[in-house]
Amino acid sequence: MKKVLKFTAYLVVILVLIVIAGISYVTLALPNVGEPEAIKIAITPQRVERGKYLANNITLCMDCHSTRDWSKFAGPMKEGTLGAGGEKFDANVGFPGDVIVPNITPYHLSSWTDGELFRAITAGVKKDGSAIFPLMPWESYSKMSREDVYSIIAYLRTIKPQEANYPQRKLDFPLNILVHTMPKKAMLGTIPNEHDTLKYGEYLVTIAACKDCHSQVKQGKIIAGLEYAGGREFLVPGAGVVRSANITADRTTGLGNWTREQFVSKFRQYADSSKRVDVKPGEFQSIMPWYRYAGMKTTDLEAMYAYVKTIKAVKNPVIKFAPAQKLN
pLDDT band at 272 (very low <50, low <70, confident <90, very high): confident
Q: What is the mean pLDDT of residues 289-311?
A: 97
State the first-to-last Cα distance of the chain, in angstroms, to the nearest integer. 54
Task: Answer whether residue 2 shows pLDDT above 80.
Answer: no
* Contacts by residues 82-87 (CB-CB < 8 Å, ≥ 24 positions apart): 82/159, 82/160, 82/162, 83/156, 83/159, 83/160, 83/162, 84/162, 84/164, 85/164, 85/166, 86/164, 86/166
Handedness of CA 175, 33, 211, 159 (dihedral sign): positive
Give the pLDDT confidence score for residue 16 in this predicted structure.
42
Alpha-carbon distance of 153 to 99, in angstroms, equals 23
CA atoms within 13 A on the CB side of 200: 12
CB contact at 8 A, 118 and 36: yes
Domain ranges for the chain: 36-191, 208-328
HSE on the CB side for 14, CA within 13 Å?
6
Percent of the chain topping pLDDT 70: 89
Q: How far apart are CA 225 and CA 89, in angstroms?
A: 28
Segment 254-276 shows an average pLDDT of: 92
- CA distance linking residue 102 with residue 45, whole number of Å: 26
Kind and range of the H or E element at 23? helix 2-29
- pLDDT exceeds cutoff 80 at 5: no
pLDDT of residue 325: 65
Give the H or E element holding residue 41. Answer: none
Residue 29 has pLDDT above 90, yes or no: no
Q: Note whether 270 and 291 are within 8 A (CB).
A: yes
pLDDT at 259 over 90: yes
Q: What is the mean pLDDT of the chain?
A: 90
49: helix, strand or coil = helix
CA torsion angle 86 91 94 98 (round to 10): 50
In eight-state DSSP terms, residue 274 is G
Q: What pLDDT band is residue 237 in, cutting at 50, 70 and 90?
A: confident
Give yes or no for residue 21 having a pLDDT over 50.
no
Alpha-carbon span 35 to 113, nearest angstrom: 12
Task: Say what percent of the chain tops pLDDT 90.
Answer: 81
Evaluate if residue 315 carries a pLDDT over 80: yes
d(Cα 321, Cα 94) in Å, to the nearest integer? 16
Residue range 286-304: average pLDDT? Answer: 96
- Give the pLDDT band (50/70/90) at residue 255: very high
Name which of 28-42, 83-97, 282-296 the model is least confident about: 28-42
Q: At how many degrees (to 10) do helices 146-156 and 45-53 cross?
A: 90
Write the pLDDT tens digit of every residue in 142-165.
999 999 999 999 999 999 999 999
Q: What is the pLDDT of residues 49-88, one digit of tens each?
A: 999 999 999 999 999 999 999 999 999 999 999 999 999 9
CB atoms within 10 A of CB 16: 10
pLDDT single digits (tens) 180-236: 999 999 999 999 999 999 999 999 999 999 999 999 999 889 999 999 999 999 999
Q: How far apart are CA 314 and CA 227, in angstroms?
A: 8
- Model pLDDT, residue 274: 76
Label residue 12 by pLDDT band (50, 70, 90): very low
At 18 the pLDDT is 44
pTM: 0.90
- The pLDDT tens digits for 115-140 are 999 999 999 999 999 999 999 999 99
Query: Would you state the pLDDT for residue 195?
Result: 94
